[in-house]
Chains A and B, each alone.
Chain A
Amino acid sequence: MVTEGGFAMGSGLGKLEVLLVDDYKSIRDKLEKELRGLGLVVTTAGNGVEALGLLRSKRFDLLFTDIVMPEMDGFELCQEVRTAPGFQDIPIIVTSTHCDTEYVMKALRLGADDYVSKPVDYELLKQVVARVLAPTLPK
């Protein structure tokens, strides 16, 4: 489904699958709604461990994760993803409040590609998702 405000993913890419990871349901629900609004197919997980399980079970085009979570936090998740065989190359967007620049810098060093602050600004989210999916060199 291609939405008016979302991505025109008409170039044979099909639906893009995003894995959304956040430990708080209310925030996760809100993010899920926003991501769906962009025309993405969303699967959710409540922490890093769950997310890794899902990443192993199917292919995702994008990982969108909170940083502070129980069980396995966003730092560990980034590290695991970048060292695990099979899905090292998945783009990762981390999200946290604007106060958390130290966490964001750490997450970037550990393998995250981009960052959106919470509460999420719809336009910015669209911009960040678009750029993280854009390849550095044309294929």
Chain B
Amino acid sequence: MADKSEQSESMLVRSENLDQLLLLAGEVIIVSSNLGLASRNARGLFERSAKVDRETSDMLKDLADSTSDISSKLHKLVQAIRTVELKDLGFRARRTIRDLARRTGKRVRLEVSGEDTVVDKSIVDKLYDPVIHQLRNAVDHGIEDMGTRGRNGKNEEGVVHLRMYNGDRDTFIEIEDDGQGVDFEALRRKAVAAGVVEEGAVFSEQDALAFMCLPGISTAKEVSELSGRGVGMDVVHSRVAELGGTVSLRSTPGKGSTFTFTVPLVSAVNIMDALVVEAGGTMYAFPIAAVLSTMSVPAAQVRGAMDKGRMVKYLDGYVPLMDLDELLFGRQNACWDKDVSLVIVEHKEDRLALRVDSFVNPQKLVIIPIDDVLDIPEIAGATLLGGRRLGYIMDVAAVVDNALHKKSARLDLAAEPRPTAEPAAAAPSPLPHHEEKPAQSTAKSAAEAKDEQVVESREFLMEIERLLPSLNQALFALEADSSSEAHMNSSFRLMHTIKGNFMMIGLPKGGETIHSLESVLDAARSRRIELGAEAMDLLLDGASYMEEALRAKMAGVWEDKAREDLIARSAGLLPAKTEETPAKIQDVANGEIVLSHEAAFRLNIHRKRRVPSYRCYLEFDSGKQPPYLVACMIYRRFCELGDVLGTLPALNDIEKGAMDGKMKLLLVTALDQDLIAKALESLLREHYGAKAFELIRVG
């Protein structure tokens, strides 16, 4: 679905960054116009067969310098735009620890530092799960219960540190607990029993970690409800590895453990150093990290024939050799009786030599994803080489797996890449487009309206993304000082606005759920209830729910559903409504208006003064609005004409919803009967959906 993928690609961008981008764009325009000038100068010189003069030469040098300066600035800026702060992770961590402490009965304090640490946008969402899981491990398996800590002379309150910081190229996330530490001896025995290590062999911290990261290994004696949900260290480890990161462990028995996640600061997926080769007339780029060596060998060194599988000597062994063009497209055009140019690639333990036609220089490439265009597993993306030619970026893992393990069928030649495809057009647009449309163009096409809706919905989604950290912050501030009016008001307003945005993106059930939380805050700020621990738990759970909904909605997998548990907990916290039975729909046509004591007084004074009174009966269709609301509006209209002494149903009941579009009103007015009858009837019929109208003088 178009709208799904567009949503998952949007992100919040700080406006300073956009300003800078605009400045750079301005510089590009200047450089490009100067370049035009220089090129005309050079052309003129060439046509007169004159030598390049000093002016033109200086100009070209300046232009080359500025171009390189601008491109490096642009690269840095785009990287900066792609990074986001880890604030959300801090909030989530706090909620997680809070929740865990509550459920385990342990006392745990979380210290968070470095919430302004940045990571690439593409990484941040995938970082949450492993970090949160490791925090659970720290509380569940690390921190001891209060009794044990007391007996061991430790403070009853355990401390978990979440430290985040940026290195030059990496982001570091440390999770440290002051708990019992890793039981190396128990792990070693397990490892021996599992046959992974030999009895008596050295078993280091990193060996222990590696063993813990094997599927299905856990030191917890009982599977706990919290962290032992079948998600173990193996999953944590593989999630971090998927991000191109690593996990390391330091642990002292009895003192505690520190797990450190190291993940690349910039997503390695988009810009990479690559070796470029040509084969069969097409350019291919191999990520430098996966290339062991390039070499050119005499044909004689190639062993084996086509059908048997060729091998070539590399270092002290032989490596399988294949022709790249043949491997990808099944074409057997390669010439094997001259010197052979080879690229040796490696994936895990496997090595593979690939025959290519020629090498091009290593270069930095920007990857353009092309998953949808070309369905060839060995090709990870496309790139523009030398700014003009389309080249393919190889997925070395797939190349090696498929070549050596014969998983892939030969590709159909029809799938041959067509460099005519406009790759720039396939690149995702980073920002929603704003198109101001003149008000006259009311006749929008359905497609235009849909596009507009998608853009709008994305804006509201991003608004939620922007507001959630503020809500978290306000809620934690409120928890620290639960009587602060300022914190209550800001939490309430944020909750209310997020609710509104949920409604705007078509999640009314989600909105209703948030509304229940908002009511709790509204009751607190008007001092109808006190905000206790239970209320704070509820509100923070609510924040988690919103976050979950936001992420899922962004990924296009959210279904609008009310969270009944949150709604019920909210209702439980609100003061019991003075058990009024909900107002019943009444038989208005046959019923009589009941006057209050005050109204009865007034009626008699009106009579004494000979001001006429009228009974009005009307039926209306409230259309898209609830009938009771429209009834209130109609009541307001009658009040403008005189004294409304009573209604049926009574106004109180109408406000509670007792309204099915039939009502009676008792109006006292000195205005001309004909005038008000006509005016009211046409007003009510035209604007309030009135179907039946009757005005009778009753006194």
- Interface residues of A, Cβ cutoff 8 Å to B: 1, 3-6, 23-24, 26-27, 30, 36-37, 39, 68-70, 96-101, 104-105, 108, 113-115, 117-119, 121, 123-124, 127, 130-131, 134, 136-138
- Bound Cα distance A24, B462 (Å): 13
Tell me whether B675 is interfacial, beta carbon within 8 Å: yes
- From B499, B629, B671, give the contact of A115 (CB < 8 A): B629
Residues A97 and B500 in contact, CB atoms below 8 Å apart: yes
CB closest chain-B residue, reference A128: B625
Closest to A95 in B: B500
Cβ of A26 and Cβ of B439 under 8 Å apart?
A: no
When distances are taken between beta carbons in the complex, the residues of chain A under 8 Å from B497 are 23-24, 68
A24 touches B687 (CB 8 A): no
Selected A-B contacts with CB under 8 Å, 7 pairs: A1-B440, A24-B500, A98-B503, A104-B629, A119-B504, A130-B687, A134-B686
The answer to whether B641 touches A136, judged by C-beta atoms less than 8 angstroms apart, is yes
**Cα separation A39 to B688 with both chains bound (whole Å):** 22
Q: Residue-by-residue, is B438-475 near A (CB-CB < 8 Å gives 1, otherwise 0)?
A: 01101100000000000010011001000000000000
Q: What residue of chain B has the Cβ atom nearest to residue A25's Cβ?
A: B463
B691 within 8 A of A: no
What CA separation (Å) do A118 and B504 show in the bound complex?
Answer: 7
Measured CA separation A117–B637 after assembly (Å): 20
B373 at the interface (CB under 8 A from A): no
Interchain CB contact under 8 A, A24 and B629: no
Which of A23, A101, A119, A134 has the most chain B CB within a 10 Å cutoff? A119
* Closest 10 pairs between A and B when the two form their complex, measured CB to CB: A131-B687, A99-B515, A5-B442, A68-B496, A136-B640, A97-B503, A124-B624, A137-B679, A4-B442, A119-B504
Is the C-beta of B511 less than 8 angstroms from some C-beta in chain A? yes
Determine how close the nearest CB of chain A comes to the CB of B5; give it in whole angstroms. 22
Contacts of B676 in A (CB 8 A): 137
A105 touches B624 (CB 8 A): no
Cα(A114)–Cα(B675), bound, Å: 24
Report Cα–Cα, A26/B456, bound state, in Å: 9
Interface range for B:
35 or more
Residues of chain B with a CB closer than 8 A to A137's CB: 640-641, 671, 675-676, 679
Would you call B499 and A30 a contact (CB within 8 A)? no
Task: Answer yes or no: B82 CB below 8 A from chain A CBs.
Answer: no
Least distance between B632 CB and chain A CB atoms (Å): 6
As a 0/1 sequence over residues 8 to 42 of chain B, the CB contacts with chain A under 8 angstroms (1 = contact) are: 00000000000000000000000000000000000
- Decide if B456 touches A30 in the complex (CB within 8 Å): yes
Is there a chain A Cβ closer than 8 Å to B623's Cβ?
yes
A65 → B minimal CB distance (Å): 14
State A138–B496 Cα separation when bound (angstroms).
40
The reply to whether A27 and B504 form a contact with Cβ atoms under 8 Å apart is: yes
CB distance from B437 to the nearest CB of A (A): 9
Q: A101: which of B492, B493, B629, B687 is its contact (CB, 8 Å)? A: B629
Per-residue CB proximity of B615-652 to A under 8 Å, as 1/0?
00000000111100100110011001100000000000
Report which of B501, B623, B633, B655 forms a contact with A114, defined as CB distance below 8 A. B633
When the two chains form their complex, are residues A26 and B460 in contact, meaning their CB atoms are under 8 A apart? yes
Answer yes or no: B683 CB below 8 A from chain A CBs. yes
A136 touches B683 (CB 8 A): yes
- In the complex the two chains form, what is the Cα distance from A127 to B625 in whole Å? 11
Q: Check A70 against B439 for contact (C-beta < 8 Å).
A: no
- Tell me which of A68, A96, A97, A130 has the highest count of chain B C-beta atoms within 10 A of its own C-beta: A97
Q: With contacts A68-B496, A119-B504 known, is A24 near B463, CB below 8 A?
A: yes
Q: Is B323 part of the contact surface with A, judged by Cβ < 8 Å?
A: no
Of listed B508, B675, B687, residue having the most chain A CB within 10 A: B687
> Which of A36, A119, A130, A138 is the one whose CB lies under 8 Å from B503?
A119
Q: Does B325 contact A (CB under 8 A)?
A: no
Interface residues of B in 471-508 (CB under 8 A from A): 489, 492-493, 496-497, 499-501, 503-504, 508
Residues on B with beta carbons closer than 8 Å to the beta carbon of A97: 499-500, 503, 511, 515
Q: A131 CA to B637 CA in the complex, in Å?
A: 11
Shortest B433–chain A CB gap in Å is 14
Instruction: Chain A residues near B88: list those with CB within 8 A.
Output: none
A4 close to B512 (CB less than 8 A): no
Complexed CA–CA distance, A130 and B683 (Å):
11
Interface residues of B in 659-689 (CB under 8 A from A): 671, 675-676, 679-680, 683, 686-688
Q: Contacts A36-B439, A97-B511 given; indicate if A138 touches B679 (C-beta within 8 A).
A: yes
B629 touching A113, Cβ below 8 Å: no
The chain B residue with its CB closest to the CB of A5 is: B442
Residue of B with least CB distance to A123 = B624
Would you give the shortest CB distance from A119 to chain B, in whole angstroms?
Answer: 5
For A29, the closest partner residue in chain B by CB is B459
Residues of chain A contacted by B671 (CB below 8 angstroms): 137
Report whether A37 and B504 are in contact in the complex, using a CB–CB cutoff of 8 Å: no
**Once the chains are docked, how many angstroms separate the CA of A117 from the CA of B655?**
17
Indicate which residue in A4, A114, A118, A136 contacts B440 across the interface (CB closer than 8 Å): A4
Instruction: Report whether B629 and A136 are in contact in the complex, using a CB–CB cutoff of 8 Å.
Output: no
Complex contact A68–B439 (CB within 8 A): no
Is B632 a contact partner of A105 (Cβ separation < 8 A)? yes
Closest to B679 in A: A137
Asked if residues A26 and B679 are in contact (CB atoms below 8 Å), the reply is no
CB-nearest residue of chain B to A120: B504
Q: Tell me the minimal C-beta distance from B514 to chain A in angstroms.
A: 9
Specify which chain A residues have a CB less than 8 angstroms from the CB of B508 in the assembled complex: 98
Contacts of A39 in B (CB 8 A): 439
Residues B439 and A108 in contact, CB atoms below 8 Å apart? no
In B109-155, which residues have CB < 8 Å from any A CB? none
- With a cutoff of 8 Å between Cβ atoms, the chain A residues found around residue B688 in the complex are 131
In whole angstroms, what is the CA distance A88 to B440 when docked?
33
Contact with A along B519-546 (1 / 0, CB 8 A): 0000000000000000000000000000
Residue of chain A at shortest CB distance from B626: A101
